[in-house]
Structure 1
């Protein structure tokens, strides 16, 4: 089995699994100084874009392609590449199609999609300098159609805040501020079938706009007002109506005030909650992409593999303790993994109970 992987940054999450499955890995990367290049059987430094990966996929006679791209801007190029390679050479690309990326890469289109399919989402409208009035209810949230990780999001408390934001941007999505719990669900999709994984708690919404990477997160999400099965049912509905493929992460806010779950956005790519998802339910979404490429994926088998652990992710800056065993990004031989760039590392831990999890945090001196 020969598989082409696009992008090296996340390759250390999967390389060890490729050896188990006897997969010959070919890696393309546009940055010659990128990490993990030497983990592949062979690699090629290419220009940005999909032209050279396309030619390599054909010339190397690969069986499948797995894009490992965790940022939004290249996703439409990848989707176009997918449709061309599949139609012209019948080589499967494990990623979502252009119709999906067109919706999920534009937050306004995503909101429209939610409304079309009767999925609860915060009330919103598009504003510009020319249609401002003073009829807003504060606080409110302004954001751009594109962006990830909290980029270009501002919480406004008065009209002056809005005007300042529109001095920088021509227009904005203006959305009601929902007070509640941020929840994410990863959904695996393949051939029109979907498996929503365990909902992850990502902290409470805040008026000071704390960056997601600076929050302590837990799995699974717990509430007396809504069950995880109810959340997974809505995530399933979103993924199925999108016809999403591979991985999508769906972000929600649950408001205890009115017991409503609001869909916020969909990310059609590997995402930052993947370690917590793996820790909590035992399913690595990136390894499932490899299974899809190898023709070994089954939604029913994946659903039956889901376990129930307790997990926590803590931002630590730099980890000074004992590093995890090889493979360092796997929970196979570890109770915790360390990930993220130097100075911004995070540790994700898992245990069989809350008590065991707290003891593990204490033993590593991570109490916060």
Structure 2
């Protein structure tokens, strides 16, 4: 079996993608798979249409790998691939749309307002920010509607910080999600499999320095304390696991996903984010979850690519 890892791309998360790709490639090689790594460039389609590639594992983070475009290309080329279909990826990638789908299916997420950058210019930023802060209350979380790795994310604790957070957010996209900050225990839940066969792995509790799990904290060791498995009661662990599985199935995700959840003070699980292409770097959460489950990475990664290859295009 020849597996091709797609990593790199032109998003802000290029370096993370390459690190993820290299880690997965090493594990697959150790499992006896013929594996190569390719960037998304002019040589990609010729490389995919030679007939030598049995399965592709897209590990591009950001729009190019998670908004459904790359998946749609692979579907057009009839190349089997790991992960969620293009249609489901488009829905999961847009945080505002995903929140609406989850809410419609009874899955709780923090209250939020979505605003485009253009509207701030047209009606006056300060007045709008006053109204938003009054409606949702402080503290708030501001993040791009489309994006990953917490790029552009800020936690806003005072009204004076809100404008700065919006500017930071709009540097990474033209649409902002302004969300009520929920106090509680943050748990990253990894799910493997599809449909009725999907199963949740042990959660990873994330304790961030100053409460901000931003890009720098995620990918630079030392700023985050992780607990895998999460320090939860059996009942709490069941709540977050069931929530992650409901999200995975409701959003029609496939093969693997990571659902970031906050377990609030009332014991309710609220969904913060959905990741269809979880990071696989040395500090990423999914590999920690796999290790907590006592599963060798190479064996699980082999099973994932073998299943995708057998499924076909």
What's the TM-score, normalizing by structure 1?
0.65
CA contact (8 A) 2:209 2:224 kept: no
Cα separation, partners in 2 of 1:64 and 1:258, compared to 1, 3 Å: same
SS at match of 1:216: strand
Equivalent runs, 1:189-200 vs 2, <5 Å: 189-190=193-194, 193-200=197-204
Unaligned residue ranges in structure 1 (runs of 5+): 30-47, 299-368
Larger Rg: 1
SS at match of 1:248: strand
Which residue is 1:92 aligned to?
80
Cα separation, partners in 2 of 1:270 and 1:286, compared to 1, 3 Å: farther
Cα separation, partners in 2 of 1:205 and 1:142, compared to 1, 3 Å: farther
Cα distance in 1, alignment partners of residues 186 and 3 from structure 2 = 36
Cα distance in 2, alignment partners of residues 157 and 12 from structure 1 = 37
Q: Which of the residues 166, 172, 177 maps onto 1:173?
A: 177
Cα distance in 1, alignment partners of residues 304 and 232 from structure 2 = 33
Cα distance in 1, alignment partners of residues 53 and 6 from structure 2 = 13
Deviation at 1:206, TM superposition (A): 4.6
2:45 counterpart of 1:54: yes
What's the RMSD between the two structures over aligned residues?
A: 2.9
2:177 counterpart of 1:186: no
Cα distance in 2, alignment partners of residues 265 and 222 from structure 1 = 20
CA contact (8 A) 1:63 1:293 kept: no
2:267 counterpart of 1:259: yes
Deviation at 1:261, TM superposition (A): 1.1
Deviation at 1:54, TM superposition (A): 3.0
More RCO (CA 8 Å, sep 6+): 2
Cα separation, partners in 2 of 1:251 and 1:105, compared to 1, 3 Å: same
Cα distance in 2, alignment partners of residues 94 and 154 from structure 1 = 32
SS at match of 1:59: coil
Structure with greater proportional helix content: 2
Unaligned residue ranges in structure 2 (runs of 5+): 8-17
Deviation at 1:196, TM superposition (A): 1.2
SS at match of 2:77: helix
CA contact (8 A) 1:143 1:153 kept: yes
Structure with greater proportional strand content: 1
Which residue is 1:101 aligned to?
89
